[in-house]
Amino acid sequence: MIKKNKILVVDDDKQVLKTLEFLLETEYEQVTTLNNPNLIPTELRSEKFDVILLDMNFSKGQNTGNEGFYWLNRILKADSDAIVILITAYGDVELAVRAIQDGATDFILKPFDNDKLLATINAAIKLRHSKIQIKNLKQTQEVITKDLEKQHLLIKGTSPAMEKIYSAIKKVAKTDANILILGENGTGKEIIAREIHRLSARSNKSFIHIDLGAISENLFESELFGHKRGAFTDAKEDRTGRFEIANAGTLFLDEIGNIRLPLQAKLLTTIQNKEVIPLGSNSSVSIDVRLISATNKSIENMIQDNLFREDLFYRINTIIIELPPLRERGNDVILFADKFLSLFSRKYDLLNLKFDKNAYDQLLNYNWPGNVRELQHTIEKAVIMCDSDIISPKDLISNNDEPQKLDDIERIAIIRALNNNNGVLTFAAKELGIARQTMYNKMKKYGL
């Protein structure tokens, strides 16, 4: 059985190329030969090779190995993980050893011993795969570590509205169906996505969250699909995209309603084909992810306005889960408030804090336009600012007759603008007379 690996052979001796091609093509998926080293850069841009066999001398009468050193350096600059095996004569062994110090993996001697040659190449392939695996694991760990630094707290409400949600979660979690979570800002869409992953057959694999609303358009493909070194100006090394990092696990595409139509087309192609093509590469990478998406927007309205692709909508919404706003969850407000009070009391070492009855009444009567996220922010602020062991209404929601801080006024204005525009950032930003990115940054600032 032919091994699924790609080999590049570079030698000015056409007879050597024919011999190696005849030997290797029965062992490996693809064998490419070049008798002109000047073609190496073009070949590396169009293909990714597992092993490169490189002669050390190309010009007649040359035996210094300088040409081999030059092209070795060029190859490693193009791909720092490249595996280069030098082709050398007996007299060049000392040069080959020196080249290994410069980054070559091994060398083989002319004339070739076929068994030793194949053993050397196979060992080099294993090294290549190990290097890539380690690099991918490192990048995956970096993403997961940043994710773990965030606080993800599932508080199970007891309201009828939320009981229906939990029942639906249990049914869909065991499947691989793509899920679309709808709900206002701050309703806990990410928390629900994590719960679905936790209950799924993929729970022992990665849960990768990507906020599409926070990615600039020029970095979209790089973030989702990855890139190769040199693919664009700042691409100084290979980078694994979030789809590939989430392979075998769950990918959560938050704020999916924020991506523009041209990028929606690329996302649709990836979901349909179950493969990604990193920027700067012609080779695809197969992916197997459970896709969960979320948005606070009406995708159906966006489709009518030609702002969202209908075919993408059908791809991401095998199941729709719509989270109710906090104001429709009844006494869940009290349950959430108590949980947050316990959490922040421990965090700030203020363990004797309690709500008084009037505080509970105020929590129940307030509309919570920012939903659970606003409640969490309010309780944390009350814990920090409270002057006694009892949290009263004055420690919670500001009295309209009292002067408010500029941040509070700005935050309320943003919440109102979002509600006035059904959560559409672009329209809300326009109402406030600020740029969309400024709007997004301020929402991050105020936890909205």
Q: What is the pLDDT of residues 383-403, one digit of tens each?
A: 888 888 999 998 887 544 443
Q: Whose CA is closest to 58, among 85, 87, 78, 91?
A: 87
Q: What average pLDDT does the segment 114-131 reach?
A: 88
| DSSP H/E element including 281 | none
What mean pLDDT comes out for the span 256-273? 92
pTM, two decimals, is 0.62
Count CB atoms within 10 A of the CB of residue 186: 25
Read off the pLDDT of each residue in 159-187 and give the average, rounded to a whole number. Answer: 93
pLDDT of residue 337 exceeding 70: yes
Q: How many CB atoms lie within 10 A of CB 447?
A: 15
The reply to whether 295 and 341 lie within a common domain is no
143: in domain: no
* 169/298 same-domain check: yes
Query: Using one digit for the tens of pLDDT, what is the confidence trace for 360-378?
Result: 999 999 999 889 989 998 9
All residues at 6 or more sequence positions from 309 whose CB lies less than 8 Å from its CB, including other chains: 261, 264, 265, 268, 303
Q: Which residues contact 185 (CB under 8 A, 6 or more apart)?
A: 296, 370, 371, 373, 418, 423, 443, 448
When pLDDT is cut at 50, 70 and 90, the band that residue 138 belongs to is low
Looking at residues 317-324, what average pLDDT do you find?
94
- The per-residue pLDDT for 149 is 45
Residues 192 and 298 in one domain: yes
Note the pLDDT tens digit of each residue in 54-68: 988 887 766 677 888
* pLDDT tier at 1, thresholds 50, 70, 90: low
Q: Where are the beta strands (DSSP E) in 352-394?
A: 354-355, 390-391
Average pLDDT, the chain: 85
Q: Which amino acid is residue 287, in one-letter code?
A: I
CATH code: domain of residue 22: 3.40.50.2300
Q: Widest CA span of the chain, in angstroms?
A: 95
- What is the CATH number for 292? 3.40.50.300
Q: What is the pLDDT of residue 46?
A: 81
Contact between 166 and 324 (Cβ < 8 Å): no
Residue 390 tokens, joined: 């009892």
Phi/psi region, residue 36 (left: phi>0; alpha: psi -120 to 50; beta: rest), is beta
What the block records as the tokens of 16 is 């050597």
Question: First CA to last CA across the chain, in angstroms?
Answer: 56
> Does 221 map to a domain?
yes
Q: What residue numbers bound the domain in which 198 lies?
A: 150-322
